[in-house]
Chains A and B, each alone.
Chain A
Amino acid sequence: MTDHRSLHNLEIGFTGILGADGKPIGELPEFASNHKQLIALYRAMVLTRRLDEQAVALQRTGRLGTYASSLGQEAVGVGVAAAMNNNDVLLPSFREQGAQLVRGVTMVEILRYWGGDERGSCFEGPKEDFPAAIPVGSQFPHATGVALAMKLRNEARAAVVVGGDGSTSKGDFYEALNLAGVWQLPVVFVISNNQWAISVSRKKQTAAKTLAQKALAVGIAGEQVDGNDVIAVRFVVERALERARAGQGPSLIEALTYRLSDHTTADDATRYRPDEEVSARWKKEPVSRLRTYLTDLGAWTGKDEETLLNESTVQVEEAVTAYLATPLPQAGEMFDHLFESLPSDLENQRKQVEELSREKTDA
């Protein structure tokens, strides 16, 4: 005889505040009554989009390495980072330029990183934030460590870690989630579910109906949010962060969004997904949604829009100029941050690479 016991309520909350047409469909959070705050979110999304555009253009002209655009997903990064306190710690994936910008990583740093320069990960701003995680999902366990450190020091801070839908198939993800649950760590896991992991669709990634429900397996809170609604993202992440900082444990937030770009500049998405799918998703993209809402409120005019676009263009252009003018690192620098100080066994190698590079420039 099988005895069925109801252990879990398999209801997963979904928060959406603005509809795809920019009309409210849910109750607005308090911060949304402050139009300045909404405009700040809007500006950050526009800037992110401009940066992505320019980065792709730089790559196409041989002046940047492979680049992962966040086109269409700006609301996730911007909303997440806007919800954070300065002294929280962000552990991003490689597609979170929006979050990084709001956290205070500079555009020049972002461009340096994708231009193949380690110095791009030496942030002047958010000193404790982690660099982009390239090995998918490897950032989740780090977040539990950061959160444990905060907890051990009794600080009212939290770690926020962002990964993709694909990353939830990795052991690292489950291991981190599980441990955060048992130890009730102050960490918020955000999954930016853009429906694709390169060519593997969300459906082929897991048979689970939602990614948020993976939280239930480890006994922590899990919910979904409209990831193209920056107000909703900021709202739910803020709520989860308050719980985390108050010692009420970790959460998993699945932000439903869509990757409007190729996976990276090295990818050709037309090989595996139909154009119609992409054009349908353009109708739900996050930037015009918030613009419509702000315009309807009377808080945003065509003139404001024009000014913002010009400003963003100038800002990004300035960053591009500064990036392109970055002096090359010296060859010997490849040894300078391997250890705190250079072990004597490596001195000869450092000398050799410096000499050879000097010969090259002399020649």
Chain B
Amino acid sequence: MPEVDLLQAVNMALTKAMETDDRVIVLGEDVGVDGGVFRATNGLIERFGAERVRDTPLSEAGITGLSVGLAAQDFRPVLEIQFMGFIYPAIDQIINHASRLRNRTRGRLTCPMVLRAPFGGGIHAPEHHSESTEAMFAHIPGLRVVIPSSPKRAYGLLLAAIENPDPVVFLEPKRIYHVQKENVEDDGKALPLDRCFVLREGSDITLITWGAMIVETLAGADQLAEDGVSAEVIDVATLTPLDTDTIFSSVEKTGRCVIVHEAARTGGFGGEIAARLAEDGLLSLLAPVKRVTGYDTVIPMPRLEHHYMPSLDRILTAAREVLEYS
């Protein structure tokens, strides 16, 4: 079993999917000879040829629309957009077409495509390279938003996304591309979509997060454990459709909840989870739900970026407030 990091796990899943299904086409800017700017598609063109691993012109709107057409024709396009900040020209294709082709044609045409993009801050990248606008995509009906946070989940969830008959926006937390190595069995087994993952069981407080913030959140749970607090940590993994069962049963047990995300606070996906808890889980709550998030400003360039990113300290402060509430 190979020890791989999250990025290598993405590469493994792409390789496996291309091996097992001829309909899988990998495309995007620089995904061929260069192997992708992060090297997620490294080696694919050598292995599967330039017909199936396609370097495209620089044209996000065009290649996203092209993927819709390919998908409607029963191919399985896996499109790489180089950074989340460059998906925006393609929003028209995503919101008006990819997400609703099935609905518009009452199931006659479908759109089994995957749009992969690295996202998130904390790597001292240039302007427009540190976006976390996952909530924008989660707001689009008909679209799945999937975010892996470990090598195993990257492998299993990407395979699941490619197998899935509907469009998936698959966002890769680039800050943790190389943070953790795991033994990932290359068995072609998908993990379930639409399910949260309980990364750590606990009984006193539920910490909910996704993507790169998993790192600080798990560290927070460790620290709380030293204080004798047992924290449950949930990786949402599929933002939409949301697995409220896992979240509710955890909060029923703990009665306390902190949601952590890097994206700006207002309109962030944490608000949706908090709203669900307020609507349907209020009686389990022993304290108000707290959010630890990025601020409501443009994610700063590197000089101020670290002040923007939710820190372990902020997570601990919020958790303690929630724990002390009575």
Q: Which chain B residues (103-155) contact chain A, with CB distance < 8 Å?
A: 124-129
Given contacts A169-B58, A328-B303, contact A338 B32 (CB under 8 A): no
A192 lies within 8 A of chain B by Cβ: no
Q: Which residues of A contact B60 (CB under 8 A)?
A: 170
A8 lies within 8 A of chain B by Cβ: no
A199 lies within 8 A of chain B by Cβ: yes
Across the interface, do A329 and B303 meet the contact criterion of CB distance under 8 Å?
yes
Across the interface, do A335 and B33 meet the contact criterion of CB distance under 8 Å?
no
Q: Which chain B residues (1-45) contact chain A, with CB distance < 8 Å?
A: 29-30, 32-35, 37
Q: Which residues of A contact B313 (CB under 8 A)?
A: 356
B58 partner, pick from A134, A170, A357, beta carbons under 8 A = A170
Contact with A along B281-306 (1 / 0, CB 8 A): 00000000000000111101111110
State how many angstroms separate the Cβ of A240 from the closest Cβ of chain B. Answer: 24
Across the interface, do A135 and B58 meet the contact criterion of CB distance under 8 Å?
no
Across the interface, do B57 and A198 meet the contact criterion of CB distance under 8 Å?
no
B96 lies within 8 A of chain A by Cβ: no
Cα separation A171 to B59 with both chains bound (whole Å): 7
Q: Which chain B residues (73-112) contact chain A, with CB distance < 8 Å?
A: 85-86, 88-89
Q: Which residues of B contact A349 (CB under 8 A)?
A: 265, 295-297
Q: Which residues of B contact A278 (CB under 8 A)?
A: none
Contact with B along A343-361 (1 / 0, CB 8 A): 0011001001100110000
State how many angstroms separate the Cβ of B90 from the closest Cβ of chain A. Answer: 10
A to B contact number (C-beta, < 8 Å) = 114
Across the interface, do A199 and B300 meet the contact criterion of CB distance under 8 Å?
no
Look across to chain B and name the residue whose beta carbon is closest to the beta carbon of A119: B303
A22 lies within 8 A of chain B by Cβ: no
Q: Give the bracket for the number of chain A residues in contact with chain B.
A: 35 or more
Q: Which residues of A contact B62 (CB under 8 A)?
A: 169, 171
A334 lies within 8 A of chain B by Cβ: yes
Stretch at the interface among A200-208, A214-222, A299-307: A200-208
Q: Which residues of B contact A172 (CB under 8 A)?
A: 89
Ranked nearest first, the 6 interchain pairs of A and B with the lowest CB-CB distance are A116-B302, A199-B34, A169-B57, A166-B58, A331-B307, A116-B301
Given contacts A171-B89, A338-B298, contact A197 B58 (CB under 8 A): yes
Cα separation A117 to B301 with both chains bound (whole Å): 6
Across the interface, do A199 and B126 meet the contact criterion of CB distance under 8 Å?
no
Across the interface, do B304 and A136 meet the contact criterion of CB distance under 8 Å?
no
Cα separation A352 to B301 with both chains bound (whole Å): 19
A79 lies within 8 A of chain B by Cβ: no
Q: What is A's interface to B at a CB cutoff of 8 Å?
A: 65-66, 94, 114-118, 134-137, 166-167, 169-172, 197-200, 204-206, 266-267, 271-272, 328-329, 331, 333-335, 338, 345-346, 349, 352-353, 356-357
Look across to chain B and name the residue whose beta carbon is closest to the beta carbon of A349: B295
* Residue among B33, B37, B58, B61 with the highest chain A CB neighbour number at 10 A: B58
* Residue among A116, A329, A346 with the highest chain B CB neighbour number at 10 A: A116
Cα separation A356 to B307 with both chains bound (whole Å): 8
State how many angstroms separate the Cβ of A320 from the closest Cβ of chain B. Answer: 17
State how many angstroms separate the Cβ of B79 from the closest Cβ of chain A. Answer: 15
Interface residues of B: mostly helix, strand, loop or mixed? Answer: loop
Q: Which residues of A contact B37 (CB under 8 A)?
A: 198, 266-267
Q: Which residues of B contact A338 (CB under 8 A)?
A: 297-298
State how many angstroms separate the Cβ of A268 from the closest Cβ of chain B. Answer: 9
Cα separation A115 to B129 with both chains bound (whole Å): 14
24 A-B interface contacts by CB (under 8 A): A65-B126, A65-B302, A117-B301, A118-B301, A166-B58, A169-B58, A170-B61, A170-B89, A197-B29, A198-B29, A198-B37, A200-B30, A200-B55, A205-B57, A271-B33, A328-B303, A334-B295, A334-B297, A334-B304, A338-B298, A346-B297, A349-B297, A356-B311, A356-B314
Cα separation A114 to B32 with both chains bound (whole Å): 28
Look across to chain A and name the residue whose beta carbon is closest to the beta carbon of B304: A334
Look across to chain A and name the residue whose beta carbon is closest to the beta carbon of B124: A65
Q: Which residues of A contact B301 (CB under 8 A)?
A: 65, 116-118
Across the interface, do B33 and A199 meet the contact criterion of CB distance under 8 Å?
yes
Look across to chain B and name the residue whose beta carbon is closest to the beta carbon of A168: B58
Given contacts A329-B304, A334-B300, A335-B297, contact A114 B126 (CB under 8 A): yes
Look across to chain B and name the residue whose beta carbon is closest to the beta carbon of A345: B296
Across the interface, do A353 and B307 meet the contact criterion of CB distance under 8 Å?
yes
B308 lies within 8 A of chain A by Cβ: yes
Cα separation A200 to B128 with both chains bound (whole Å): 21
Cα separation A206 to B62 with both chains bound (whole Å): 13
* Residue among B85, B124, B304 with the highest chain A CB neighbour number at 10 A: B304
Cα separation A338 to B148 with both chains bound (whole Å): 31
Across the interface, do A115 and B303 meet the contact criterion of CB distance under 8 Å?
yes
List 7 additional A-B contacts (Cβ < 8 Å) besides A137-B58, A349-B265, A356-B314: A171-B61, A198-B29, A198-B37, A199-B34, A200-B58, A206-B57, A349-B295
Given contacts A170-B59, A333-B304, A346-B296, contact A271 B86 (CB under 8 A): no
Across the interface, do B297 and A200 meet the contact criterion of CB distance under 8 Å?
no
Contact with A along B158-180 (1 / 0, CB 8 A): 00000000000000000000000
Q: Which residues of A contact B89 (CB under 8 A)?
A: 135, 170-172
Q: Which residues of B contact A206 (CB under 8 A)?
A: 57
Q: Which residues of B contact A331 (CB under 8 A)?
A: 304, 307
Cα separation A113 to B216 with both chains bound (whole Å): 29
B124 partner, pick from A116, A200, A353, beta carbons under 8 A = A116
Across the interface, do A198 and B128 meet the contact criterion of CB distance under 8 Å?
no
Q: Which residues of B contact A328 (CB under 8 A)?
A: 303
Q: Which residues of B contact A66 (CB under 8 A)?
A: 125-126
State how many angstroms separate the Cβ of A310 from the closest Cβ of chain B. Answer: 32
* Residue among A117, A169, A334, A353 with the highest chain B CB neighbour number at 10 A: A334
Cα separation A353 to B308 with both chains bound (whole Å): 8
Cα separation A124 to B233 with both chains bound (whole Å): 49
Given contacts A65-B124, A329-B303, A329-B304, contact A169 B295 (CB under 8 A): no
Q: Which residues of A contact B126 (CB under 8 A)?
A: 65-66, 94, 114, 116, 134
Cα separation A353 to B293 with both chains bound (whole Å): 12
Cα separation A200 to B305 with both chains bound (whole Å): 31
Cα separation A334 to B264 with both chains bound (whole Å): 13
Across the interface, do B308 and A334 meet the contact criterion of CB distance under 8 Å?
yes
Look across to chain A and name the residue whose beta carbon is closest to the beta carbon of B126: A66
Cα separation A345 to B297 with both chains bound (whole Å): 12
Cα separation A169 to B59 with both chains bound (whole Å): 6
